[in-house]
Structure 1
Amino acid sequence: MTLPDAPWRSWPGMDQLLKALDAEGGNVRFVGGAVRDTLLGLEVQDIDCATVFRPEDAMERLEAAGIKTVPTGLKHGTVTAIIERRPIEVTTLRRDVSTDGRHAEVAYSENWQEDAARRDFTINALSADPITGEIFDYFNGRADLDARLVRFIGDPAERIAEDHLRILRFFRFHARFGSGAPDAEGLAAAAKFANSLMALSRERIADELLKTLALPDPSETIALMIEHRIFTPVLPEIVSAEELIRLTGRETVFDQAGDPIRRLAALLPPEPDTAVSVATRLKMSRAQRKRLATATARIPGDTAEPRALAYRHGIDGAIDRLLLCPTNDAVTGDAIALLIENPPPERFPLKGGELIAMGMEAGPDVAVKLREIENIWIAEDFPGEARVWEIAQEMLSSE
């Protein structure tokens, strides 16, 4: 069994990197996702290598070959080589000394199988000789890849005890690579130890959840997670995948790219306060928090005024709300089409200084009056600037 040829194997600078790490002597291999995805015929962007050389030695060899290196994870044996502006992670072979479910203490090794045994799933433990393409498969990962089965290496409970995040990774990898029912032993262990997720940082949980929700259609896997109470310890607000299933269907019908924040909103009740609470707990960015709150504020009337919705919340926010809106698909489709074909203006064409020039006394009332005029302009579906001035003059003359 050999690794198929792929464009990434011939990237400029790859030969120099492999020579520097003595590929001819069998001292470096391609590992992990690059091998897995190449076997599946998928595009590869991220390349990981493993080597017998200690990180300091690897850096010295690479720099001697004129390759820039960055000590991105020396504590864990990882350096990053930069070839033609592309980062290649190079990690020294390791074995676990101790783990606590969040962090691992490692020791360097020269045993390839020992290093592969540290990985989570059999399909991620494949490695390949960069010269001959020979694939090394210590845990039947190729058979699992062919069967579209995501399976822990060894005892699932032990793998989860080493890193609790593997519970969420199990479901993400099943959603991406699996077919049919998930591995029964892995599913049982994930459900049994779901409470261990409480020990993880909320940032790690958020990152893994959003990666899962960004997959083409994670709805069945998310439903499975809900059924087995995976979210209950850390995100008890997620109790049904029904709206997510409906949303992913609509995204396909209306040719809208799946968005993880929008999909998270579908999993939450339509309550902005709840959304803010969840986003804060997950330590999401301010922009993500705002978008999630906007999406969960959806109401049936959103489809009646799509341009006004987009003016107030942006195109992305409006499309989120329309796709999540509890109206029939025909009405939703018309609203989205209108918004795409005829988006609203980006800004209000009247400023406070112009109201003062028209005779209004400067002060806080200017902002209030400006907002009133703007609301009329929105309600009239954004007429031209002449009408805006007319509205302003009518309001000022009536006082």
Structure 2
Amino acid sequence: MALTLDAPKWRKMRGMKRLLAALGADEGLTRYVGGAVRDDLLGLPINDIDLATRIAPAEVITRLEKARIKAVPTGIEHGTVTAVSDGHPFEITTLRRDVSTDGRRATVAFTDDWKEDAARRDFTINALSADPQTGELFDYFGGLEDLEKRRIRFIGDPLQRIAEDHLRILRFFRFHARFDGGEADAAALEACTQRANDLMALSRERIADELLKLLGLPEPSPTVEIMLEGRILSPVLPEIGRDAGERLRALIAVEADAGIEPDGLRRLAALLPQDEAVANDVAVRLRLSNKARKRLVCAAGEGAAPARVLAYRLGSDCAVDRLLLAGDGAAAAAIRAWDVPRLPVSGGALIAGGLPAGPVVARTLRAIEARWVAAGFPEGAELQRIVDDALTEARS
């Protein structure tokens, strides 16, 4: 693992050089912070780049505007400004310290102390910062060693960190699944288990967002097993039984064999009982979108049918979910490559064929559709025979 950032490489990123000049990075006023630093050290791709600065929020905006960089006060009350430099967004936050917290939100005061700002972050690996000019790393809490060992550890007292923001319970497990997946840090796990009920104070949207991110990682099942053993999710999702880990592992194996990418919503379905009413209750409780709710409920449905019939009746997404959950990865992969057809017959065509307008047209269309689906969605002469037979029956 690199012990410095490649400062010239970072400065070549679109919009970066102008931004750093505006924020006095060469004077030690601004550093790279957070996930981008962590991921770059691990050789992972980086997307969003965050910066921390000693400069007060109002002056940040003044400096950006003077440099003709668009400034958007996205979280100005907490010291955060989004800069759009050469069309690329960067989040800039003035150094802060917590004045008070209630587990959901914090009241902050601004500071010029880098360590004080780092101390309010959640995990040691997320508290790293780097000098944009030299690439020098600043590590106040042993984050580099933890990163090398892929160890997720709270900064300071885990109970205090969780009391400041209850979502950190789920964030701990998400980072554990992403970077570790092995034995969890004992102090962190004990604190998360002890404070699991704190999750009930969070908005269900925040819980859903973190949980789906965790489940959408390549291989979250070892981490989920730890969560199930500690009953971490029981306060907010009591429907998830301890045997749910087996279903999740089975689904992940089938996805991998079929070459189908991870999907957090599908994996949530694997954790829940196969019951549409339960799935609907969970989706409503987590305030999922209508589209996500319908998909979760559909995935929980029962009833066997050929793969293409499932896709035609329920849609490709639901069919793929059900097939994977049932262990049929080959059929799921085939459905993903199949364009679901539409019934190539209209009511107007039946009227042109001699049927009087009215209920008989709808009945005949349903009969044609049922036979067409049962026959495997034929075209050409076979389809025409189905239509002709249905017309003959309708006229008799």
TM-score normalised according to structure 2 size: 0.94
Inter-partner Cα distance in structure 1 for 2:262 and 2:302: 18
The residue matched to 2:262 in structure 1 has which SS? Answer: coil
- Is 1:369 aligned to 2:364, yes or no? yes
> Structure 1 residue 123: deviation in Å?
0.5
Aligned residue for 1:339? 335
Inter-partner Cα distance in structure 1 for 2:333 and 2:234: 38
Inter-partner Cα distance in structure 2 for 1:29 and 1:260: 34
Give the total of aligned pairs.
Answer: 390
Do the aligned residues in 2 keep the contact of 1:275 with 1:296 (CA within 8 Å)? yes
Pair 1:138–1:382, CA change in 2 (3 A): same
| Residue of structure 2 aligned with 1:261, choices 261, 265, 272 | 265
| Residue of structure 2 aligned with 1:358, choices 343, 346, 353 | 353
Do the aligned residues in 2 keep the contact of 1:322 with 1:336 (CA within 8 Å)? yes
Inter-partner Cα distance in structure 1 for 2:239 and 2:10: 42
- Is 1:394 aligned to 2:389, yes or no? yes
The residue matched to 2:315 in structure 1 has which SS? Answer: helix
Aligned residue for 2:151? 149
* Letter of the 1:25 counterpart: E
Aligned residue for 1:234? 236
* Letter of the 1:15 counterpart: K
* Letter of the 1:146 counterpart: E
Aligned residue for 2:66? 64
* Letter of the 1:49 counterpart: L
Unaligned runs of 5+ in 1: 327-331
1:63-142 map, 5 Å: 63-142=65-144
> Structure 1 residue 334: deviation in Å?
4.3
Do the aligned residues in 2 keep the contact of 1:298 with 1:325 (CA within 8 Å)? no
Aligned residue for 1:164? 166
Unaligned runs of 5+ in 2: none
Inter-partner Cα distance in structure 2 for 1:279 and 1:139: 39
Do the aligned residues in 2 keep the contact of 1:20 with 1:61 (CA within 8 Å)? yes
The residue matched to 2:74 in structure 1 has which SS? Answer: strand
Aligned residue for 1:281? 285
Pair 1:171–1:355, CA change in 2 (3 A): same
The residue matched to 1:398 in structure 2 has which SS? Answer: helix
Aligned residue for 1:323? 324
* Letter of the 1:379 counterpart: A
Do the aligned residues in 2 keep the contact of 1:306 with 1:339 (CA within 8 Å)? yes
Do the aligned residues in 2 keep the contact of 1:119 with 1:125 (CA within 8 Å)? yes
Pair 1:72–1:333, CA change in 2 (3 A): closer
> Structure 1 residue 350: deviation in Å?
1.1
* Letter of the 1:383 counterpart: P
Do the aligned residues in 2 keep the contact of 1:30 with 1:128 (CA within 8 Å)? yes
Do the aligned residues in 2 keep the contact of 1:116 with 1:125 (CA within 8 Å)? yes
> Structure 1 residue 241: deviation in Å?
1.1
> What is the identity percentage for the equivalent residue pairs of Structure 1 and Structure 2?
56
Deviation string 1:261-306 (CA, Å, 9 cap, x unpaired) is 111111111112211111111111111112111211144x34xx11
Aligned residue for 1:329? none
> Structure 1 residue 324: deviation in Å?
0.8
Do the aligned residues in 1 keep the contact of 2:53 with 2:92 (CA within 8 Å)? yes
Inter-partner Cα distance in structure 2 for 1:293 and 1:131: 52
> Structure 1 residue 5: deviation in Å?
5.0
> Structure 1 residue 333: deviation in Å?
4.5
| Residue of structure 2 aligned with 1:215, choices 214, 217, 227 | 217
| Residue of structure 2 aligned with 1:379, choices 374, 377, 392 | 374
Aligned residue for 2:25? 23
* Letter of the 2:344 counterpart: P
Deviation string 1:236-276 (CA, Å, 9 cap, x unpaired) is 11112111100111111111111111111111111122111
The residue matched to 1:388 in structure 2 has which SS? Answer: helix
The residue matched to 1:79 in structure 2 has which SS? Answer: strand
Do the aligned residues in 2 keep the contact of 1:345 with 1:382 (CA within 8 Å)? no
The residue matched to 1:241 in structure 2 has which SS? Answer: helix
* Letter of the 1:206 counterpart: A
* Letter of the 2:128 counterpart: L
Pair 1:254–1:9, CA change in 2 (3 A): farther
Pair 1:276–1:6, CA change in 2 (3 A): farther
Inter-partner Cα distance in structure 2 for 1:147 and 1:88: 29
> Structure 1 residue 69: deviation in Å?
1.6
Pair 1:337–1:393, CA change in 2 (3 A): same
Aligned residue for 1:206? 208
Inter-partner Cα distance in structure 2 for 1:9 and 1:289: 43
The residue matched to 2:109 in structure 1 has which SS? Answer: strand
Aligned residue for 2:315? 314
Between 1:20-29 and 1:360-369, the stretch displaced more is: 360-369
Pair 1:21–1:198, CA change in 2 (3 A): same
Do the aligned residues in 2 keep the contact of 1:298 with 1:324 (CA within 8 Å)? no
TM-score normalised according to structure 1 size: 0.93
Pair 1:268–1:344, CA change in 2 (3 A): same
The residue matched to 1:70 in structure 2 has which SS? Answer: strand
